[in-house]
Amino acid sequence: MATPHPDLADAPLLRAARGRPVRRVPVWFMRQAGRSLPEYRALRGEGSILDAIRDPALAAEITLQPVRRYGVDAAILFSDIVVPAAAIGFGVDVTPGVGPAVSTPFRTKADLDRLRPFEPEIDAPYVAETVRLVVDALGATPLIGFAGAPFTVASYLIEGRPSRTYGRTKAMMHGEPALWHQLLDRLADMAIASLLAQVEAGASAIQLFDSWAGSLSPDVYQELVMPASAKVLAALEATGVPRIHFGVGTGELLTLMGDAGADVVGVDWRVPLDVARSRVPGKAVQGNLDPAVCLAPWDVVADRTRDVLRRNGGRPGHIFNLGHGVLPELDPGVLARVVDLVHEEGHSDGG
Ligand code: CP3
């Protein structure tokens, strides 16, 4: 890996993730690299996102674009949660405007044979190469590596495409718990291998995306999902990098998602940030401006941004973000102003 920049350990994002005071609240945006940026659209062209991810020079440049444009406090690796499954040949692609598509979904025990262990340096060496290029270019700005959590990746492999109900996924989870646990365990190992390789190559924080966990009740989450995510987060502990754990609509799961082994719990816009903080005592939080609010006039955006900061109330351990990804139709100029506002007005005591 590249030699870490001497100031990296003091980066506001890493300090906030560890609950330390900061002079300015760090901010980055989920899906900051993407179709809202004209420079992204110009570079990406028409091909599959998976082809772009397999090209380290291109993927590194796309990762850096939002850092240059917005002055955000972190980059997030340009990749996707289905990259490891695609790399071992499970038969996954990503349909533009829709999301992951699986040609032959996971339905029976026999499908376990299609999920061999993921070996990052053999199956997807381009990921570590991209990380190295990005980390060299970023200097004192952290790179966040990421993986899909076992439940969310399982939902794509089982449904075969994005789903509103997760019907087949829930049918398997409740109807065939032994198979479900085997599947989740393999996906946990896949996420672990992927995250460790990213950290080894130089990522200085990681985010585990359990985007669709909010479709579950707390008892079901705790029994059938949390153990696999906890295995992933525990496996990262020894690396010492902060672990962010995020899902959409997870207000009722925040405490459990923290207990799964996160240092930072990501919060969507449905739970006010002060309430979210009370559900994850002792942990940092990340969020939680509604991405759709950013389509409203600037005064409204500024007002809602200040509301997030006010609800945090200057406490250490806040990373500003949206409650979910940037909407493709958003004017990037608005996000640049949000970054400036958070940097001007956000602080935490003692920093
Ligand atoms: O800037 C970043 O956030 C970094 C890159 C990133 C992508 N996917 C690139 C991408 C990250 C962190 C992801 C994670 C991801 N992928 C998640 C978890 C985050 C979340 O949104 O909850 C999920 C659920 C996926 C699966 C996936 N991939 C979906 C649902 C889609 C959307 C389909 C679409 O076209 O809108 C994708 C495609 C995708 N992944 C795009 C990008 C920039 C857009 C398509 C493209 O440019 O080809």
Token readout for 136 is 């060299």
Check whether 1 has a pLDDT greater than 90.
no
Q: Give the residue, 4 or 270, on which the prediction is more confident.
A: 270
Q: For the chain, where are the alpha helices, taking DSSP H only? A: 12-17, 38-44, 49-53, 56-70, 83-87, 120-123, 125-138, 150-159, 167-175, 177-201, 218-224, 226-237, 254-259, 273-279, 298-312, 332-345
User: In this structure, are residues 86 and 120 in contact, taking their beta carbons and an 8 Å threshold?
Assistant: no
Q: Is the C-beta atom of 32 inside 6 A of ligand 1?
A: yes
Mean pLDDT of 64-71: 98
**Arithmetic mean of pLDDT over the chain:** 96
Nearest atom (ligand 1) to Cα of 211: 22
Q: Which amino acid is at 159?
A: E
Q: Is the C-beta atom of 30 inside 6 A of ligand 1?
A: yes
Q: pLDDT by residue (tens digit) across 283-299?
A: 999 999 999 999 999 99
Check whether 350 has a pLDDT greater than 80.
no
Q: In testing the pocket of ligand 1, which one of 35, 77, 81 has its CB within 8 Å of the most ligand atoms?
A: 81
Catalogue the active-site residues: 31, 35, 44, 80, 156
Q: In testing the pocket of ligand 1, which one of 31, 41, 67 has its CB within 8 Å of the most ligand atoms?
A: 31
User: What band does 182 get if pLDDT is binned at 50, 70 and 90?
Assistant: very high
User: What band does 3 get if pLDDT is binned at 50, 70 and 90?
Assistant: confident
Q: How far, in Å, are 27, 54, 278 from residue 137 at the CA level?
A: 19, 19, 38
Structure pTM? 0.97
Q: pLDDT by residue (tens digit) across 125-143?
A: 999 999 999 999 999 999 9
Q: Is the C-beta atom of 29 inside 6 A of ligand 1?
A: no
User: What band does 37 get if pLDDT is binned at 50, 70 and 90?
Assistant: very high
Query: Residues near 31 by Cβ (< 8 Å), separated by ≥ 6?
Result: 325, 326
User: What band does 46 get if pLDDT is binned at 50, 70 and 90?
Assistant: confident
Owner of token pair 């997870």: 250
Q: Is the C-beta atom of 5 inside 6 A of ligand 1?
A: no
Q: Is the C-beta atom of 218 inside 6 A of ligand 1?
A: no
User: What band does 351 get if pLDDT is binned at 50, 70 and 90?
Assistant: very low
Spatial separation of the C-alpha atoms in residues 227 and 306, rounded to whole Å: 36
